[in-house]
């Protein structure tokens, strides 16, 4: 199945080579940051890239990781070499331009392990020139977590060089499984348990990716924890504490809390202090805050109209406004908003024909877009590129994490095994 996909992708790139190679280079020049959301994106319009065989210790791993990182980024068409091509490419002391052109590559990436790390050359196949050379630090012990992080970080920089947009390989996804919090690399590797706390609920990353915040049920509280550090309670008491997030400046924790008179959204300094109520729910339930990237607005879900809907309000709780258009007929159930990193749309889950699907709503024109239809799909969380979403789906039979490229519609399964809940995609992480 996979090899069929690879060869068909390579064929597509090959067929389109003459037309597409200049397009790819043009895109590299003009795209500086982000992607125009809503742009109709032809998957075959992506530049073809060959990751050349890597010699030396861990060479095969490096080539495989970089290829997969670029592939998962969905901005280039990674052309996999068959054994004969790989052998021919490996034997060549200079880039085999004819072979690369024949494979439909607009660019080729050559990684060479050195004493201090990894040396990367990027070749422009159309001009038959070396487009860029750069060295990256990496631990000498390959296959360790730190080494994998260094390779992912290098992949992201290669993607930046190829497409103008930094990749998301050096990110992780946080989620709940079996009453514990776990994190997994964006490529599905390095699954690690993060907390020993019983029954964690939803969790979120700090803006610098060095800490997380989560709620627990028993006792009912909000906990901040540095990665690798000890948990610290920032809010606790009777009733429920739900869905904490960091403010974009990292200075405060915003969460939902309620005892006997509805649930409202509160804010408390990360360093601790007296919580301040933000939302004015008048006895209704108001949960799941998500900040706009500039920190000025908060999207949240509220039952104030009798059924759960997505609203926005100013960060101080004023100017609350219904974001999702009111449905006629079946009472809507819209939940779990997550504001996109580019600020232009909010992802959420909506009940459609009795089951949940992931949707987006545009901040500009309130236009709705349904992104999923296979199984039940819940709890979307944006990757820092504003283009990929991770969410919980039952499409494989159990609740697992899936990643969707909202531009191309391509999906991949991120977790397997015991059921999971409540994913949170990290910001881009510095190497650890």
Work out how close the CB of 263 gets to another protein at its nearest, in angstroms, rounded to a whole number.
4
* Close Cβ partners of 271 (under 8 Å, ≥ 6 residues apart): none
**Residue 48 in contact with residue 20, Cβ under 8 Å?**
yes
Nearer to another protein, 195 or 220 (CB): 220
Residue of 34, 45, 164, 262 that binds another protein (CB under 8 A): 262
Distance CA 190, CA 182 (A): 10
Compute how many residues bind another protein; rule: CB under 8 A. 35
Cα separation, 358 vs 356, whole angstroms: 7
How do beta strands 297-302 and 286-291 pair?
antiparallel
Among 336, 345, 360, 381, binds another protein (CB under 8 A): 336
Cβ-based nearer residue to another protein, 172 or 399: 399
Residue in 259, 305, 326, 418 binding another protein, rule: CB under 8 A: 259
Binding residue for another protein (CB under 8 A) from 220, 247, 267, 426? Answer: 220
110-149 residues near another protein, rule: CB under 8 A: none
Instruction: Please identify, using beta-carbon distances, which residue of 104 and 244 lies nearer to another protein.
Output: 244
> Which of 73, 209, 258, 375: binder of another protein (CB under 8 A)?
258
Among 2, 91, 93, 260, binds another protein (CB under 8 A): 260
Choose between 171 and 202: whose C-beta lies nearer to another protein: 202
Q: CA–CA separation, 325 vs 278, rounded Å?
A: 23
Q: Nearest CA to 380 among 352, 345, 408, 354?
A: 345
CA distances from 40 to 7, 211, 406 (A): 24, 36, 10
How far is 241 from 201, CA to CA, in rounded Å?
Answer: 9
Q: Is residue 349 a contact residue for another protein (CB under 8 A)?
A: yes
Contact 245, 290 (CB under 8 A): yes
365 binds another protein (CB under 8 A): no
The CB-of-414 to another protein minimum distance in angstroms stands at 18
In this structure, the number of other CB atoms found within 10 A of the CB of residue 322 comes to 14
CA neighbor of 392 nearest in space, from 408, 370, 372: 372
If one asks whether residue 202 binds another protein (CB under 8 A), the answer comes out as yes
* Radius of gyration of the chain, Cα coordinates, nearest whole angstrom: 23
Show contacts with another protein in window 40-79 (CB under 8 A).
none
DSSP state of 305: T
Binding another protein by CB under 8 A: which of 189, 208, 261, 374? 261
Q: Which of 167, 275, 303, 375 binds another protein (CB under 8 A)?
A: 303
Kindly give the interhelix angle for 59-73 and 145-163, rounded to the nearest 10 degrees.
50
The reply on whether position 263 binds another protein by CB under 8 A is yes
Q: Which residues pair with 404 in a beta bridge?
A: 389, 411
Q: Does residue 82 interact with another protein by CB under 8 A?
A: no
| Shortest separation between residue 343's beta carbon and another protein, angstroms | 22
Binding site for another protein (CB under 8 A): 199, 201-202, 217-218, 220, 238-240, 242-243, 256, 258-263, 285, 287-288, 301, 303, 307-308, 333, 335-336, 349, 351, 356, 378-379, 421-422
């Amino acid at each position: 199945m996979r090899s069929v996909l690879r060869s068909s992708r390579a064929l597509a790139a090959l067929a389109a080579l003459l037309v597409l190679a200049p397009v790819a280079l043009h895109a590299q020049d003009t795209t500086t940051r982000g992607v125009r959301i809503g742009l109709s994106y032809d998957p075959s319009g992506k530049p073809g890239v060959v990751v050349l065989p890597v010699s030396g210790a861990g060479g095969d791993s490096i080539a495989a990781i970089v290829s997969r990182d670029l592939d998962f980024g969905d901005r280039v068409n990674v052309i996999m070499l068959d054994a004969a091509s790989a052998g021919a490419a490996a034997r060549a002391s200079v880039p085999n331009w004819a072979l690369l052109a024949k494979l439909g590559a607009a660019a080729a990436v050559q990684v060479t392990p050195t004493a201090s790390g990894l040396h990367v050359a990027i070749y422009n196949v159309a001009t038959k020139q070396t487009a860029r050379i750069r060295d990256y630090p990496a631990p000498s012990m390959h296959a360790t977590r730190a080494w994998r992080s260094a390779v992912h970080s290098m992949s992201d920089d290669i993607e930046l060089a190829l497409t103008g947009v930094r990749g998301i390989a050096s990110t992780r996804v946080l989620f709940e499984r079996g009453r514990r919090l776990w994190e997994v690399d964006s490529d599905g590797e390095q699954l690690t348990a993060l907390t020993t706390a019983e029954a964690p609920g939803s969790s979120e990353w700090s803006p610098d990716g060095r800490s997380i915040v989560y709620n627990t049920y028993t006792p009912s509280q909000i906990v901040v924890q540095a990665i690798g550090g000890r948990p610290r309670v920032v809010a606790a008491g009777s009733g429920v504490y739900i869905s904490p997030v960091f403010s974009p400046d990292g200075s405060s924790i915003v969460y939902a809390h309620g005892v006997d008179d509805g649930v409202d959204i509160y804010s408390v300094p990360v360093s601790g202090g007296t919580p301040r109520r933000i939302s004015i729910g008048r006895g209704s339930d108001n949960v799941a805050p998500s900040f706009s990237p500039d920190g000025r607005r908060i999207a949240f879900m509220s039952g104030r109209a009798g059924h759960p809907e997505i609203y926005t309000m100013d960060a101080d709780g004023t100017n609350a406004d219904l974001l999702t258009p009111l449905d006629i007929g079946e009472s809507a159930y819209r939940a779990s908003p997550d504001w996109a990193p580019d600020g232009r749309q909010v992802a959420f889950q909506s009940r459609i024909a009795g089951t949940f699907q992931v949707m987006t709503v545009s901040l500009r024109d309130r236009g709705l877009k349904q992104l999923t239809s296979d199984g039940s799909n819940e709890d979307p969380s944006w990757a820092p590129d504003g283009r990929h979403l991770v969410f919980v789906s039952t499409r494989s039979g159990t609740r697992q994490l899936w990643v969707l490229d909202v531009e191309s519609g391509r999906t991949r399964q991120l977790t397997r095994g015991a059921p999971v809940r409540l994913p949170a995609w990290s910001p881009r992480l510095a190497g650890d």
